[in-house]
Amino acid sequence: MHEITKKGKLILADGSVYEGDFYGKRNAVGEVVFTTGGMCGYQEMLTDPTYCGQIMVLTYPIVGNAGVNNMFNQSRKAYCQGLVIGELCDYPSNWRSERSLEDFLDEQDIPTLAGIDTRSITRKIRDNGVMKGVIVPAEASEAEIAELLAAPEVHDQVAQVTTKETYTVGEGKLHVAVLDLGLKKKVTSFLMGMDCHLTVFPASTTAEEILRHNPNGIVITNGPGNPEDVPAAVETVKALLGKKPMLGICLGHLVMALANGAAATKMKFGHHGNQPVKGLETGRVYISAQNHGYVVDAASLEGKDITVTHVALNDGTVEGLKYEGKNALSVQFLPDGEHTYLLKSFVDMMEGR
């Protein structure tokens, strides 16, 4: 039996308290979101920059069964603020496992609360919407908690996660400029898989700078938070539109919509996990991996030269857009797996087909 675990708690902005076993060296504060995709993909999600600033609640009650392997990291480090789970597996078993999730969380300094009925939190967020929360040790004082909860909302997540310097990767035929709003490895690898080589630019890069590299096409990546928090990126995209074929993914999709004069709204609890998406041009429904808390406001598209190409099957929200005459498309989800056809369209655009 291991040593007696430290106790801790999660306190939500509405005052509800969840007590559990605390793993961590610091407090966590952030927006509390639930995700249904953590059964196997916990490491991928923890290192997904999109979760920057958020406290992640995993709906699956047993976490860490397959351990951790650095090859699965989606970025340099884990950006999520904190983790709330049921059982933290202390005996991972998978041939790829290098160490336990517990060790990884410790190394990445992610405050974690385990032994929690995460379904009850999920139900709360589903009914009341996302809210702020803190993870603290059990002995934290009321005042300390109040202060943490009062901390101002963060708006600089993209700046935290974007690359500091421009770099290139891959040796493919086509040259793709990637505006890194929170690029994750899956995006890099599926682009490379389409025979592309990439130049990855910091989020603050100007349009001129990008065009100077004369890419075949431009990808605006996934990333954390509200698209309105990255006005510079919106401006850059505005300037780039129509100049080169463009593909927007997740936050990149929202930024492109804004650059085209549309608006984004905050969702009640977002889409985090697998979601069915219907392609309006094909009539086909595919399951997609999603992770977003904001969505394009369908009403704001009216009168603009933008076609809705994809909608979420469950709630009808906008999932994909085509910007007419601009050789540009964007989707709210990761265009991998069965959505690879979107990447092919992008490649076709770049090749002038």
| Selection from 147, 155, 149, 12 nearest residue 84 by Cα | 12
Q: Would you say 95 and 71 are in contact if contact means Cβ atoms under 8 Å apart?
A: no
Query: Is residue 339 close enough to count as binding another protein by CB under 8 A?
Result: no
User: If DSSP codes are grouped into helix, strand and coil, which group holds residue 311?
Assistant: strand
Query: Is residue 286 close enough to count as binding another protein by CB under 8 A?
Result: yes
Burial of 178 (0-12, 13-18, 19+ CB in 10 A): buried
| Of 13, 61, 159, 235, the one binding another protein by CB under 8 A | 61
Q: How far is residue 174's CA from residue 35's CA, in Å, rounded to a whole number?
A: 35
User: If DSSP codes are grouped into helix, strand and coil, which group holds residue 71?
Assistant: helix
Interaction residues for another protein, span 22-51 (CB under 8 A) = 34, 36-37, 39-41, 43-44
Query: Is residue 267 close enough to count as binding another protein by CB under 8 A?
Result: no
Cα four-point dihedral sign 130, 89, 42, 69: positive
In whole angstroms, the minimum distance from the beta carbon of 216 to another protein comes to 28
In whole angstroms, the minimum distance from the beta carbon of 148 to another protein comes to 23
Q: How far is residue 221's CA from residue 255's CA, in Å, rounded to a whole number?
A: 9
Q: Which stretch binds another protein (CB under 8 A): 134-142, 192-200, 236-244, 268-276?
A: 268-276
Q: How far is residue 104's CA from residue 127's CA, in Å, rounded to a whole number?
A: 32
- The single-letter code of the amino acid at 276 is P
Contacts of 203 (CB under 8 A, 6+ apart): 158, 159, 162, 179, 180, 181, 223, 230, 232, 233
Query: Is residue 185 close enough to count as binding another protein by CB under 8 A?
Result: no
Considering beta carbons, is residue 187 or 257 the nearer one to another protein? Answer: 187
Q: How far is residue 313's CA from residue 286's CA, in Å, rounded to a whole number?
A: 10
Query: Is residue 133 close enough to count as binding another protein by CB under 8 A?
Result: no
| Of 6, 26, 76, 96, the one binding another protein by CB under 8 A | 96
Per-residue contact track with another protein, 194 to 233, x per CB under 8 A?
----------------------------------------
Query: Is residue 338 close enough to count as binding another protein by CB under 8 A?
Result: yes
In whole angstroms, the minimum distance from the beta carbon of 25 to another protein comes to 25
| Of 149, 239, 287, 308, the one binding another protein by CB under 8 A | 287
Rule CB under 8 A: which residues touch another protein? 1, 34, 36-37, 39-41, 43-44, 59-62, 65-66, 69, 72, 86-87, 89, 91-97, 117-120, 122-123, 126-127, 273-276, 278, 283-287, 313-314, 337-338
